Amino acid sequence: METRADDFYPTRLERPTESFERQDPVVHNKGSDRTNGPLSETELTHYERDGFLVFNNFLDQATVRQFREDLRGYEDDESILRSEGTITEPGKQEIRSIFGIHELSDRFDRLTRDPKILAMVRQLLGSEAYIHQSRINFKPGFHGKGFDWHSDFETWHAEDGMPRMRAVSFSIALTDNTPFNGPLMLIPGSHKTFLPCVGRTPEDNYQSSLKKQELGVPNDRDLAAMADEYGIKAPTGPAGSLIIFECNTLHASNANMSPWPRSNLFFVYNSVENQLQAPFCGNKPRPDFLGNRSNTEALVPVPEDEGRKTG
Amino acid sequence: METRADDFYPTRLERPTESFERQDPVVHNKGSDRTNGPLSETELTHYERDGFLVFNNFLDQATVRQFREDLRGYEDDESILRSEGTITEPGKQEIRSIFGIHELSDRFDRLTRDPKILAMVRQLLGSEAYIHQSRINFKPGFHGKGFDWHSDFETWHAEDGMPRMRAVSFSIALTDNTPFNGPLMLIPGSHKTFLPCVGRTPEDNYQSSLKKQELGVPNDRDLAAMADEYGIKAPTGPAGSLIIFECNTLHASNANMSPWPRSNLFFVYNSVENQLQAPFCGNKPRPDFLGNRSNTEALVPVPEDEGRKTG
């Protein structure tokens, strides 16, 4: 396959190629606009250095409980269990993720349009934004499997046609993150480098890759170099904690070895100026529940009094 | 299968049965003999409460390095790679464990007869002791798989005919234990309860169980009750750290998600007064490299000046 002239991040190549520096800013707001928002200069500097930020107790406990109750309801909801966006554990019927949840749940939709969150997103992306992907993740006690190391941007670029690194993920814990229930692990600083991955992408790759990712996985040598240089962090904290991470930050999670389930809300903002194109891997686009192309207008904040407390 | 009259810990049963309190002391030394040894009353009390003890920097760094060098040598040693006691990763040729290592390595043999270690063992077991099992474990970077929760005693009782809980395991880290390279996790206090396991043991079960244990695994409900009551601990520390744990302490480890390999020395002392009988599961005994029956005389300490520094 030839690389397109507009492809700033060639990947899924036949042969291993060298990693290279990202071609995009990490914080896209410029000049005096930079600190025009809820994030302080210190927080922005940390985000630029590490590729993520952690806010403990971001979501109040009442709202966390409501989301957890919704989630228990989904386990008995046949229409959700049969939905294309519902992914089960390899070889099992246990739910692992429900994609497109902001279109199924009013509560989730309102959360993605929370005024404070959208103000942070505008500050980081330097523009209005829309939801590229949303999901609830379940990791049941004892039986929740892990995810290998990867950059989300690599997949969104190759399989969804996201042209530039101008997207940011929000992950809100609905259960405590402990060292034993398979918390998110990140390599701080890894977002500054793009690691091209090897291997032609088969059509409909997502049908297997959501259960176990085989493509879009960096090679061991590149990963080891990143972890050796930067180390690994696994933020732990109580339910309600928020982790904001840049779309190219390498992350993974281990299996849940505890009896305690782990669940979280996950939603990705993409800049309205970074609209999806044809996938750079040459395949047809993935379904909307993975890479939204239908509803890409700037999100409108919910009025303050309709939102729940975040802080 | 009928349960033998001398079976104090029936397991591998057809139907789930209730867990019950252990029938044996945790520290077997009695009266004034109790503190006649290197372990203080505080340490003994912690061991009785938690079922394990941790000593950071137990083995000096020079000795750690020598063991690591030996270990690298084994990876190129065809006779070791082909040995029955050498276990590879499921589906791969990477070494996971070399059993019976104290009979292959003089250095390991001398370590198991270290005067200070043997004095601790006598203090805990209340008698002389011999090596029931020894091994070096390898957990390669990225590719080392985990072990599910289990009690070693349950397997040694069912498959090796170890009659009573009067054995103790020593695990010495040859690499740093971090939260990310699949360190040993323990449930403190779990050693006080015996969790019978369900399922008839097939002959030669060890040939598959060493790669992935399917039998001798407590049910989720019992495990969750233990973890809810006692929590989970994963001691981390530098290479050279020692973890002593009681034979019935529930333990597990997660996959190694870091690029850094994890390796450790593992050796089990059984009381000379707790000699193996016919396996309680009714099968023929496992090979000597798993449950030693050939060489069960009291270990003789090496002279102090032949030993390496432990502290």
pLDDT band at A2 (very low <50, low <70, confident <90, very high): low
Contact yes or no for A112/A131 (Cβ under 8 A) = yes
Contact yes or no for A216/A11 (Cβ under 8 A) = yes
User: Closest Cα of chain A to B11: distance in Å?
Assistant: 22
pLDDT reported for residue A152: 97
pLDDT reported for residue A200: 86
pLDDT reported for residue A155: 96
At A268, is the secondary structure helix, strand, or coil?
Answer: strand
Largest CA distance in chain B: 54
Query: Backbone phi, then psi, for A79, in 5-degree steps?
Result: -70, -35
Q: B24: which residues sit within 8 A by CB, 6+ positions away?
A: B8, B164, B165, B166
**Contact: A232, B258; criterion CB under 8 Å:** yes
Give per-residue pLDDT as tens, A258-297. Answer: 999 899 999 999 999 999 999 999 999 999 999 999 999 9
Query: Backbone phi, then psi, for A201, in 5-degree steps?
Result: -85, 120
> Which spans in chain B are helix H?
41-50, 61-74, 78-82, 101-104, 106-112, 115-125, 152-160, 206-209, 220-230
Q: What residues pair up with A129 in beta bridges, in sequence order? A: A271
User: Closest Cα of chain A to B217: distance in Å?
Assistant: 12
**Contact: A227, B258; criterion CB under 8 Å:** yes
* A228, A252, A259 ranked by CB distance to B227: nearest: A259
**Of A38-42, A230-234, A307-311, B161-165, minimum mean pLDDT range:** A307-311
**Contact: A259, B180; criterion CB under 8 Å:** no
Reported as type and span, the H/E element at residue A109 is helix A106-112
What are the CA-CA distances from residue B127 to residues B27, B64, B119, B162, B226 (Å)? 11, 29, 10, 16, 30
User: Closest Cα of chain B to A121: distance in Å?
Assistant: 30
pLDDT band at A211 (very low <50, low <70, confident <90, very high): low
Interatomic CA distance for residues B224 and A93, integer angstroms: 21
Using CA coordinates, name the residue in chain B closest to A178.
B232
What are the CA-CA distances from residue B197 to residues B15, B177, B217 (Å)? 9, 30, 6
Q: What residues pair up with B88 in beta bridges, in sequence order? A: B95
pLDDT reported for residue A249: 98
For residues A145-150, average pLDDT? 89
Contact yes or no for A208/A215 (Cβ under 8 A) = no
* A179, A223, A260 ranked by CB distance to B234: nearest: A179
Give per-residue pLDDT as tens, B228-285. Answer: 999 999 999 999 999 999 999 999 999 999 999 899 999 999 999 999 999 999 999 9
Q: Which long-range contacts (CB under 8 A, 24 or more apart) does A302-305 make?
A: A302/A110, A302/A113, A302/A114, A302/A115, A304/A115
pLDDT values of chain B reduced to their tens digit, one per residue, 311 residues: 567 888 999 999 988 899 999 999 999 999 888 989 999 999 999 999 999 999 999 999 999 999 999 988 888 888 888 888 988 766 666 678 899 999 889 999 999 999 999 999 999 999 999 999 999 988 888 877 888 999 999 999 999 999 999 999 999 999 999 999 999 999 999 999 999 999 888 888 887 776 666 788 899 999 999 999 999 999 999 999 999 999 999 999 999 999 998 999 999 999 999 999 999 999 999 999 999 999 999 999 998 755 555 55
pLDDT reported for residue A306: 56
Q: 10 Å Cβ neighbour count for B45? A: 12
Query: Backbone phi, then psi, for B132, in 5-degree steps?
Result: -80, -40
pLDDT reported for residue B216: 84
Give per-residue pLDDT as tens, A67-110. Answer: 999 988 888 888 888 888 998 766 666 678 899 999 989 999 99
**Contact: A254, B258; criterion CB under 8 Å:** no
User: Closest Cα of chain A to B231: distance in Å?
Assistant: 9
Token pair in block for residue B151:
């009690």
**Contact: B227, A258; criterion CB under 8 Å:** yes
Token pair in block for residue A183:
């918390």
Question: What is the CB-side half-sphere exposure of residue A96 using CA atoms within 13 A?
Answer: 19
Give per-residue pLDDT as tens, A237-263. Answer: 999 999 999 999 999 999 999 999 899
Interatomic CA distance for residues B159 and B203, integer angstroms: 10
Token pair in block for residue A52:
């993520």
Contact yes or no for B260/B281 (Cβ under 8 A) = no
Q: Nearest 10 degrees: CA dihedral of B283, B289, B290, B292?
A: 80
pLDDT band at A204 (very low <50, low <70, confident <90, very high): confident
Number of H helices, E strands in chain A: 9, 12
User: Closest Cα of chain B to A186: distance in Å?
Assistant: 11
pLDDT reported for residue A165: 98
CATH 2.60.120.620 assigned to domain A41-194+216-306? The reply is: yes
Computed over every residue of chain A, the mean pLDDT equals: 91
Residues of A with CB under 8 A from a CB of B: 141-142, 146, 149, 178-180, 185, 220, 223-224, 227-228, 232, 234, 252, 254-255, 257-260
Number of H helices, E strands in chain B: 9, 12
Query: Which residue of A180, A233, A256 to mutate against B (max B Cβ within 10 Å)?
Result: A180
Closest by alpha carbon to A180, among B186, B49, B53, B226? B186
Closest by alpha carbon to B24, among B272, B218, B193, B154? B193
Fold of B41-200+209-295: Jelly Rolls (2.60.120)
**pLDDT: is A169 or A310 the higher one?**
A169
